[in-house]
Structure 1
Amino acid sequence: MTAEPIRLFLAGDVMTGRGIDQILRHPGDPRLYERYMTSAADYVTLAERHSGPIPRGVTGDYLWGELLDEIERRNCDLRIVNLETAITTAAQPEPKGINYRMNPANIGVLTAARIDACGLANNHVMDWGEAGLVETLATLERAGIACAGAGRDARAATAPAVLPLAGGGRLLLLAFASSDSGVPLHWDAPPDRPGLALLPADPVAATIRAVAGLRRPGDILLVSLHWGGNWGYAVPDSQRRLARALIGEAGAQVVFGHSSHHPKGIERIGDGIALYGCGDLINDYEGIGGEEAYRPQLGLAYFLDLDRRDGRFRGLEMLALERHRFRLRRASPEDAVWLQQSLARVPLGPAPRLDPDGTLRLEA
């Protein structure tokens, strides 16, 4: 009798700061230091001009919308996202032009979806400096949410989050960021100060060394990578080389990529899988023009099945979603078809099929 697979819920960039923070129950300081916006509330106004009224003082489940029931229905073993926001009241921004923060009192955004772990290696987790990162780490710890990819020193930043699996075994979550995603080089964690895990210039050899010796028999290894720019479907050869090395040499089962604002291609590598760009799931970008060709209001939620015995890929479901009034809802049939086609723009293997209910599927 075949054991039920391990099912993971994965989501790309979850940005709960700025305008999102302003509609929650405990909005933080709205001051911004951007070139065109001085208040986070302006992003709410911009979205309302585009989509209609957005309620204020909402609870954390509002943002997840129709996705929340879908996550519950699919009986996920673990829920993992890339958190692209500092959770802090720190007042000193990094001089980088765009700075995201969510009031720690709004941590219910993550607990509402029962998130188990967050990847923190990205280009916004230190938007409010070391103080902002330390407060982010402390807030996640109090909420019982594990994290990887950032820490109070280099050793903590590069250590895996160890997530027990029901019935035995562990999932190890490692997270790294690439400087080409906009991460300032000085965010790389030194031995004695807070920072994040930044990929070195020669990432293949260094990452394989970082992974070596971590796994025990029965462990599953998932590597979160924040890499590349925000727009474009191309998958650079450097990313494919790293993904193949992690799966083929280091023994990872999943490469969990993000940074692009839209979903990108997927590649089967041996018994593993590389998700090169999971796109945005939650953000406050409604009403911001300029990239309409990518349909930036659309996103995917990923439900990944892995064999419970050896972690090999068993199947993938992707739910087509639309962000509307800062809330997730099922995408239209036409948009689901468009998302299916967009995943095949760069041929990396078999394209996912589209079921009548709007679910995209990739089978082993």
Structure 2
Amino acid sequence: MHPKTRDRVLIVTALAVAMAGTGALAANYGAKETPKVASIELAAGLRAEEHMSIQFLGDTMLGDGVTPLPDPPGYDAAVAGVLPLIDGDLVIANAEGPMTYTNEPMNRGKQFSYHADPRAAWALSKAGIDAIGLGNNHSMDMGVTGLEDTINLATNAAMTTFGAGHNLAEAERPLIWHSDMGTVGVVALGENFGKATRADEVTPGTVVFSPETVQRGYDLARAAGADWVVAYVHWGDNYTDTLQAQRYWAQVMVDAGYDLIVGTGPHIADKIEFIKDVPVVYSLGNFVFGTPGRFAAYGKQGIGIALSVELTRGAPAQLAVRCLVTDNFLTGFFTQPCSPPQMVSAIPLVHPALQIQGDVARMPCRCFEPPE
């Protein structure tokens, strides 16, 4: 088990949203039941009192029907090369494909329908991942059965899921994490991936961008006690730089009050920009991903990044970026840390102010101000 996981005792619970103004939310957004909140809390006595970090990993899928891994050690080996880089107090990854016992696609006509072996859940948990986002275009690839398997397998492996559910109320549940330095809420949002994957009052799926869902996600996180609210979004085109539509929705999220926007989806690392003082990480790229990839065909580097927000009491927040080699033609499906020359090549393209210090690059951030 990863040292960070050994040292943590995670309590995974479902908490009802309790706050003044819940009635107003219900009035504004319909009569449906107020969503509950998926919550991860550090056990008393193990909290970092002076320093905490929240780490976001990109598109993650340990094996699928094309590149199955033969046995449990194979799953562990797939993440072994980057274990030293997984060091957040809270670590979140985008599960780009269900972990499930079924291999029956919901839509047989879809070009890419993914599924990972159930053993992948334990491998991710042992690597130190605490929560997995499901708000993407592959969560429903194996239908409701695949979604339910993913949620159950993750829960059994001591990971929390958020971003998809049996209906919109479930899919909208923000992830809430409490620490002595403050409470973080993470809201999963994404593009409209089609009617079959779009949650509504009675249909399972994910949460689609709209002015209403963007604002509601923020309000629900704040209602649950979040001091800072992060949008963990799935958007953009494969192997493509930032689109104007992404910048539009980033502005909508900043206007709604979000403190950080972290994007997944294009499979390549993209730039960090700031809207006002809000960091917008347009794409983390891949983390560990079980398909060959098409980087060369698009003229792109097979590079991903892991992003951390590091908070130290009495000091400005820091954004920390770690660089990953994710082109499986180069790595043989074993993601590796970037070499120093690769860091020097890739990191300035993410943001020129990032200062490389060994295997991490940092820059200060006027974000995540201490709660009053």
C-alpha distance in structure 2 between counterparts of 1:7 and 1:269, whole Å? 22
Letter in 2 for 1:141: T
Which of 95, 103, 126 lines up with 1:91 in the alignment?
103
Which of 280, 285, 296 lines up with 2:286 in the alignment?
280
What residue number does 2:304 align with? 299
What residue number does 1:194 align with? 204
Q: How does 1:119-268 map to 2 (within 5 A)?
A: 119-165=133-179, 167=180, 169-179=182-192, 183-199=193-209, 203-215=210-222, 219-236=227-244, 238-247=245-254, 249-268=255-274
Letter in 2 for 1:184: G
Pairwise CA distance, 1:178: 0.2
- Secondary structure of 1:23's partner? coil
* Distance verdict in 2 for CA 1:313–1:8, change over 3 Å: farther
Q: 1:224-260 deviations in whole A, cap 9, x for unaligned?
A: 1101101222341x3223223323x333211111111
C-alpha distance in structure 1 between counterparts of 2:281 and 2:269, whole Å? 9
Q: How many residues align?
A: 310
Contact 1:204 1:241 in 2 (8 A): no
C-alpha distance in structure 2 between counterparts of 1:233 and 1:208, whole Å? 26
- Secondary structure of 2:86's partner? helix
Contact 1:352 1:360 in 2 (8 A): no
* Distance verdict in 2 for CA 1:121–1:268, change over 3 Å: same
C-alpha distance in structure 2 between counterparts of 1:287 and 1:267, whole Å? 26
Letter in 2 for 1:148: F
Residue 333 in structure 1 maps to residue 340 in structure 2: yes
What residue number does 2:14 align with? none
* Distance verdict in 2 for CA 1:192–1:267, change over 3 Å: same
Which of 82, 86, 92 lines up with 1:67 in the alignment?
82
C-alpha distance in structure 2 between counterparts of 1:156 and 1:358, whole Å? 38
Letter in 2 for 1:305: E
Cα RMSD (Å): 2.6
Letter in 2 for 1:245: V
Letter in 1 for 2:274: R
C-alpha distance in structure 2 between counterparts of 1:215 and 1:273, whole Å? 19
Which of 307, 315, 319 lines up with 1:316 in the alignment?
319
C-alpha distance in structure 1 between counterparts of 2:83 and 2:305, whole Å? 13
C-alpha distance in structure 2 between counterparts of 1:20 and 1:314, whole Å? 41
Moved over 3 A (4+): 285-290, 306-309
Pairwise CA distance, 1:287: 7.2
Pairwise CA distance, 1:355: 2.1
Letter in 2 for 1:300: I
* Distance verdict in 2 for CA 1:189–1:66, change over 3 Å: same
Pairwise CA distance, 1:279: 0.7
Q: How does 1:52-63 map to 2 (within 5 A)?
A: 57-60=73-76, 62-63=77-78
What residue number does 1:32 align with? none
Q: Provide structure 2 residue ranges, at least 5 long, that are not aligned to the other structure.
A: 1-48, 366-372
Pairwise CA distance, 1:288: 5.1
What residue number does 1:43 align with? none
Give the TM-score taking structure 2 as reference length: 0.75
Contact 1:16 1:85 in 2 (8 A): no
Q: 1:179-210 deviations in whole A, cap 9, x for unaligned?
A: 3xxx23321113234222122xxx23441134
Contact 1:340 1:352 in 2 (8 A): no
Percent identity for Structure 1 against Structure 2: 25
- Secondary structure of 1:327's partner? coil
Letter in 1 for 2:235: W
* Distance verdict in 2 for CA 1:352–1:63, change over 3 Å: farther
What residue number does 2:356 align with? 355
* Distance verdict in 2 for CA 1:256–1:288, change over 3 Å: closer
Contact 1:17 1:100 in 2 (8 A): no
Give the TM-score taking structure 1 as reference length: 0.77
